[in-house]
Amino acid sequence: VQGPQRRGLRQRMINKESIKIIQKTEDYIMARKKIIAGNWKMNMTPSEAVELVNTLKPLVVNDEVDVVFCVPAIDIIPAMEAAKGTNINIGAENMYFEEKGAYTGEISPAMLVDAGVKYVIIGHSERREYFAETDETVNKKVLKAFEHELTPIICCGETLTQREQGVTIDFVRQQIKIAFLNVTAEQAATAVIAYEPIWAIGTGKVATTEQAQEVCKAIRDCIAEIYDDATAAAIRIQYGGSVSASNASELFAQADIDGGLVGGASLKPDFGKIVNYK
């Protein structure tokens, strides 16, 4: 086969390849299960934790979404026990990036895995602000989490000043790029990113759906740039910051928002309404 005929043949082959890629990307989008996680922060003693899990247990039943309660380290084991046989996954709020040793006060990834933990929040803005975590330590923790087959919920988000200066997307892209340094595409596809504008955390000041969707889309585009479209289509991106029973359904209906990371409202029966947002 020669000349125009050959070019036609090649074109048909290229078309077939792009259709395959589009289909693969669509499959991933279809397959993206929502993930709704509570971040208890520094709340609930072990006995209160058991009580709260027992209260929320019947309210958060929903097979269509992944439900995670990220709890203080000391609550992990009792909460895990109380959540047995339910759809609730117990997660951690932090971990250290070393295997073991002289790091007084820290929790290792192996400790979490042994306790049955699958998800761990990494780089929450409160950890960055009060405990000097940086993009570099976040990256170390993300790599360590993957090494132990823990799913990191990687937090990012801008301050009010950054938003007002118009640097939100540049700033969040930088956080994401550093957090994913040396992370493989296969690992990245299983990660969860939580976009949490700092000015919306615990303030009752929720980002508008347009603002939340805009940044979540920019994060997905950034993942596509680092990896490829299939990885970007697979990764799950949550919104966090004053998520409540009244705004969850609108937020989670956005194309690039795959659920939420919920603070205050995760400690109340309202969390059941957020999980069953539809």
148 labelled catalytic: no
> Which C-beta is closer to ligand 13P: that of 125 or that of 139?
125
DSSP structure string for the chain: --HHHHHHHHHHHHHHHHHHHHHHHHHHHHH--EEEEEE--S---HHHHHHHHHHHTTTS--TTEEEEEEE-GGGHHHHHHHHTTSSEEEEES---SSSSSS-TT---HHHHHHTT--EEEES-HHHHHHS---HHHHHHHHHHHHHTTPEEEEEE---HHHHHTT-HHHHHHHHHHHHTTT--HHHHHH-EEEE--GGGTTSS-PPPHHHHHHHHHHHHHHHHHHS-HHHHHHSEEEEESS--TTTHHHHHTSTT--EEEESGGGGSTHHHHHHT--
> Which C-beta is closer to ligand 13P: that of 91 or that of 263?
263
> Which C-beta is closer to ligand 13P: that of 193 or that of 201?
201
> Which C-beta is closer to ligand 13P: that of 232 or that of 243?
243
Nearest approach, Cβ of residue 8 and ligand 13P (Å): 55
Q: CA-to-CA distance for 82 and 88, rounded, in angstroms?
A: 10
Write down the catalytic residue from 93, 124, 133, 158: 124
> Which C-beta is closer to ligand 13P: that of 194 or that of 218?
194
Contacts of 150 (CB under 8 A, 6+ apart): 95, 109, 112, 113, 117, 118, 119, 120
Nearest approach, Cβ of residue 189 and ligand 13P (Å): 23
Tokens for 56, please give them: 């929320």
User: Using CB under 6 A as the criterion, which residues of the chain lie in contact with ligand 13P when the complex forms?
Assistant: 39, 124, 196, 201-202, 240-243, 261-265
Nearest approach, Cβ of residue 124 and ligand 13P (Å): 6
> Which C-beta is closer to ligand 13P: that of 88 or that of 265?
265
Q: Which phi and psi (to 5°) does residue 120 adopt?
A: -140, 130
124 labelled catalytic: yes
Nearest residue (beta carbon) to ligand 13P? 263
Q: CA-to-CA distance for 125 and 169, rounded, in angstroms?
A: 16
The residues assigned a catalytic role are 124, 196
